[in-house]
Amino acid sequence: MMENLRHRSRRLRYSPSVRNLAREGQVTPADLIAPLFVFEGEGPPQPVPSLPGVSRFSLPNLLEEIKELQQLGIPGIALFPCLPAERKDPLGKEALNPETLVLRTIRAIKKTFPTMAVFTDIALDPYTTHGHDGLLNADNTDVENDRTVEVLSKMAVLHAEAGVDMVAPSDMMDGRVAAIRQALDAAGHTKTGILAYSAKFASSFYGPFRDAVGSRQAGNAPPINKQTYQADPANRRAAIQDALLDEKEGADILMVKPAGPYLDVLTELRQNTRLPLAAYQVSGEYAMLQAAAEKGWLELKSARNESLLAIKRAGADMILTYFAKNYAKEY
């Protein structure tokens, strides 16, 4: 028999009530931001095959979805447009159309649900025929940084004018946070915040999202290579440096994307900033859990909850996740 064992960790685990009292953190619906996809025109929701349970919505149906999310206690949505092919071109000109889909959607949401926090993506990939986040150079081999930043700054001002709460530059161009902050302030939008995709990695986990917004290369074309601007998955220190540069340039919230494979980056960033931190549980993370559950290899609810708790424990104040609605329903 074990004697003089003063510290028994299991004393805090025997009782459900004591476990709850001793729990260091939890994920609540108030911690979640729901990514939503909107398409042009009318019609029923369009299921995304590679994202089971996720659909694109027409504007009327999107408003109904947001009503339900708000009733469930989810405080924010991240909005992504899915445009028809005829609205796209190599320069992404539709992004600067004052009546483009996302701007009309922002206005409708804020009119109907003024307290719902709306975050909008600032990047050109939904608008370009090539699927890159910015403008290509003359020989189409790379994205030009400074020309892209000029367009993104104009795009951010249009979103602010439509009433968005925070713009979310996801392009990973150098200097874009400072340029966007300057453009917003110059246009009088000092209250519009910036949620910066600060440590966004050139990940293999984005495929289902690209299906949802229609930016994936067609047919048997190879995946779009964004390694010249998105962060190298091997580099933790460089990702932290990128994020802290965004803080200096005026970001209000910093984000790590993807979340699950980069919890070490999230934790280290939490130790180096006092800004709120977001983490994006991306489409590939969601789809893997769904696929494994469909195979009977894991129990979806418990695996989902554990994955979200891990992101929260690592340092995230808020989590963008496709599980938001179902999690809140079962909370």
- CA distances 86 to 19, 125, 140, Å, are 56, 14, 21
- Indicate the range of 32-41, 194-203, 205-214 predicted with least confidence: 205-214
- Give residue for tokens 């042009």: 40
Residues 130 and 139 sit within 8 Å (Cβ to Cβ): no
Mean pLDDT taken over the chain? 95
Of 79, 74, 66, whose CA–CA distance to 27 is shortest?
74
**Cα(328)–Cα(30) distance, rounded to whole angstroms?**
9
Helix (H, G, I), strand (E, B) or coil at 318: strand
State the catalytic residue, choosing from 88, 257, 312, 325: 257
Both ends of the chain: CA-CA distance in Å?
42
pLDDT level of residue 219 (50, 70, 90 thresholds): very low
State the catalytic residue, choosing from 200, 226, 312, 325: 200
Q: Does residue 110 carry a catalytic annotation?
A: no
Burial call 166-185: b when 16+ CB within 10 Å, e when fewer: bbbbbbbbeebbbbbbebbe
A 10 A CB-CB count for 307 gives 20
Q: Does residue 200 carry a catalytic annotation?
A: yes
38 DSSP β-pair partners: 57, 81
Residue boundaries of the structural domains of the chain: 26-330
What digits encode the pLDDT tens for the residues 103-146? Answer: 999 999 999 999 999 999 999 999 999 999 999 999 988 999 99
How far is CA 49 from its chain centroid?
Answer: 20
What digits encode the pLDDT tens for the residues 175-189? Answer: 999 999 999 999 999
Q: Which two tokens stand for residue 237?
A: 């220190």
- Strand ranges inside the chain, DSSP E: 32-39, 46-47, 55-57, 76-82, 117-122, 166-169, 193-200, 253-257, 277-281, 318-321
- Give residue for tokens 């938001």: 324
Q: Is the pLDDT of residue 216 over 70?
A: no
Of 221, 215, 277, whose CA–CA distance to 251 is shortest?
277
CATH class of this structure's domain 26-330: alpha beta
Tell me the percentage of the chain whose pLDDT exceeds 70.
97
Q: Is the pLDDT of residue 221 over 60?
A: no
Give this prediction's pTM.
Answer: 0.95
Residues 172 and 197 sit within 8 Å (Cβ to Cβ): yes
What digits encode the pLDDT tens for the residues 222-269? Answer: 567 899 999 999 999 999 999 999 999 999 999 999 999 999 999 999
